[in-house]
Amino acid sequence: MTNIILLGPPGAGKGTQARILVERRGMVQLSTGDMLRAAQSSGTEMGLKVAAVMAAGQLVTDDIVIGLIEEQLAKGGSGFIFDGFPRTLPQADALGALLEGRGDRLDAVIEMKVDPDALVARITGRFTCGNCGEVYHDQTKPTARPGVCDVCGSTDLRRRADDNEESLRKRLFEYYQKTSPLIGYYYAKGALRPVDGMAEPEVVAAEIAKILGPA
């Protein structure tokens, strides 16, 4: 089955597209950001260690996130969406080795191209349902009833601690400095598939579906 990376800056729509792929193709989303937030809320030693780094919008160390991905891959399965991983060249090398070690491969790296000017507005307005994960936005996609998730009716709507303008600036800086070199890395491997991340989510989803072929 297909394994892909969703590559793009914060606010490019990686999480939204990953949700669609999970729902429509039964793929498995591996988001290192979600794993790190889960470690924080369950209060593990590692979670506490990375909390300040994440809140400041910096990257956590390669060995931590590579370890998290290794753990997930060791559980078996296939059809992975790597969301927010890899974010550095050493992470990309590690992922290649991990997949090769299990006789698997990377089928496509979807580069979600976005206008950096749009990202601040996208990120500072976003919130998600803590129960079902649906993603909302104050201006572009508010809930029908204030404070209540349209999908599951939960009132547990959350904003991320790092979705503020100051952390976002740092996250963007980290992206352009440390993660964007992966665009060249995967281009050289013939794996890069750019899509227009500024389009509506359904249009982006259709573009990705075309790249991946029949489900």
Of 141, 160, 170, 178, catalytic: 160
| Binding window for ligand AMP (CB under 6 A); candidates: 83-91, 127-135, 141-149, 187-195 | 83-91
Distance CA 155, CA 147 (A): 6
Query: Using the rule CB under 6 A, is 10 a contact of ligand AMP?
Result: yes
Of 14, 19, 37, 122, catalytic: 14
Distance CA 212, CA 215 (A): 8
Q: Specify the residue for token string 């129960």.
A: 131
Distance CA 209, CA 215 (A): 8
Q: Please, are residues 7 and 86 in contact by the beta-carbon 8 Å criterion?
A: no
Of 37, 87, 122, 193, catalytic: 87
Of 19, 37, 126, 193, catalytic: 126
Q: Please, are residues 50 and 39 in contact by the beta-carbon 8 Å criterion?
A: yes
**How many chain residues touch ligand AMP (CB under 6 A)?**
18
Q: How far apart are the first and last CA of the chain?
A: 10
Nearer residue to ligand AMP within complex by CB, 137 or 148: 137
Distance CA 35, CA 57 (A): 16
Distance CA 117, CA 94 (A): 32
3-state secondary structure of 38: helix
Site pattern 25..64 for ligand AMP (x: CB under 6 A): -------xx--x----------------xx--xxxx----
Query: Using the rule CB under 6 A, is 87 a contact of ligand AMP?
Result: yes
Closest residue to ligand AMP, based on beta-carbon distance: 33
Is 102 among the catalytic positions?
no
* Phi, psi angle pair for 70, to nearest 5°: -60, -45
| Binding window for ligand AMP (CB under 6 A); candidates: 78-86, 97-105, 119-127, 134-142 | 78-86
Nearer residue to ligand AMP within complex by CB, 172 or 192: 172
Binding residues for ligand AMP, rule: CB under 6 A, are 10, 32-33, 36, 53-54, 57-60, 65, 84-87, 91, 162, 171
Active-site residue list: 14, 87, 126, 160, 171
